[in-house]
Amino acid sequence: MGARTTIRTYQVAARLWLTAAVLTLALPGSARLGVWLPLHLAMAGAVSVAIAGAMQNFALTLTAAPGPPALPGRQCTGVNWRRGRDSNPGSH
């Protein structure tokens, strides 16, 4: 399945959740538990599905970026291991 097809599938699913949320507004207040059911269907259903579909694009964008340049010499760790504990006063 291509990227556009996958995104389209998530968008359709999000629209279905949102449609279900709007349709529950027609139910009596006791059946839909006030505004809890429509809000739950919209937020937990539609929004989370839309975000899940978009996360694939974000992950692809982040992994396509080049890595940071290599540091010359050794990697800096912030601790001078050769001098022992006295050179790192916060470790006592």
Model confidence pLDDT, tens digit, residues 58-77:
887 778 877 777 766 655 55
Residue 90 lies in a domain: no
| Total tally of structural domains belonging to the chain | 1
pTM of the model: 0.59
Residue 46 lies in a domain: yes
Choose among 55, 59, 44, 40: nearest CA to 10. 55
Residue 16 lies in a domain: yes
Residue 18 lies in a domain: yes
Higher per-residue confidence, 25 vs 4: 25
Residue 79 lies in a domain: no
Residue 33 lies in a domain: yes
pLDDT at 24: 94
Residue 55 lies in a domain: yes
| Helices of type H across 1-92 | 3-23, 36-40, 48-64
Residue 92 lies in a domain: no
Query: Would you place residue 32 in the very low, low, confident or very high pLDDT band (cuts 50, 70, 90)?
Result: confident
pLDDT at 67: 72
pLDDT at 58: 81
Range of the structural domain that residue 29 is part of = 3-64
User: What CA–CA distance (Å, rounded) separates 39 from 17?
Assistant: 11
